[in-house]
Amino acid sequence: MADDKSKRGGRDRDRISGDEEYEVRHFANKVGLTIEQVHNLIKQHGNDRKTLEREAEKLRG
């Protein structure tokens, strides 16, 4: 199900939807990982943005 672009609240800004390719692509570009690596991080650690940023930093070394 696609995000409703008319709803502009901040409720899910702390999450990354693995089903929304534009969110995954944006996060991958931001943290310097591939899309596949981000999908793997989401599978391993969930979709909390702070957790994913921390784990991405570890992965990049």
Q: What is the pLDDT of residues 2-24, one digit of tens each?
A: 566 676 666 678 899 999 999 99
**pLDDT on residue 61:** 82
Residue 13, in any domain of the structure: no
**Paired residues of 15 in beta bridges:** 48
Residue 44, in any domain of the structure: yes
Number of domains in the chain: 1
pTM: 0.79
Residue 16, in any domain of the structure: no
As given in the structure block, the two tokens for residue 35 are 């899309």
Residue 53, in any domain of the structure: yes
Instruction: Please report which confidence band the pLDDT of residue 51 belongs to, taking 50, 70 and 90 as the band edges.
Output: very high
**pLDDT on residue 4:** 67
Q: Are 59 and 26 in contact (CB under 8 A)?
A: no
Residue 6, in any domain of the structure: no
- State how far Cα 57 lies from the chain centre: 13
Residue 33, in any domain of the structure: yes
Residue 8, in any domain of the structure: no
* Domain of 45, in residue numbers: 21-60
Residue 12, in any domain of the structure: no
**pLDDT on residue 27:** 96
How confident is the prediction for the chain on average, in pLDDT? Answer: 88
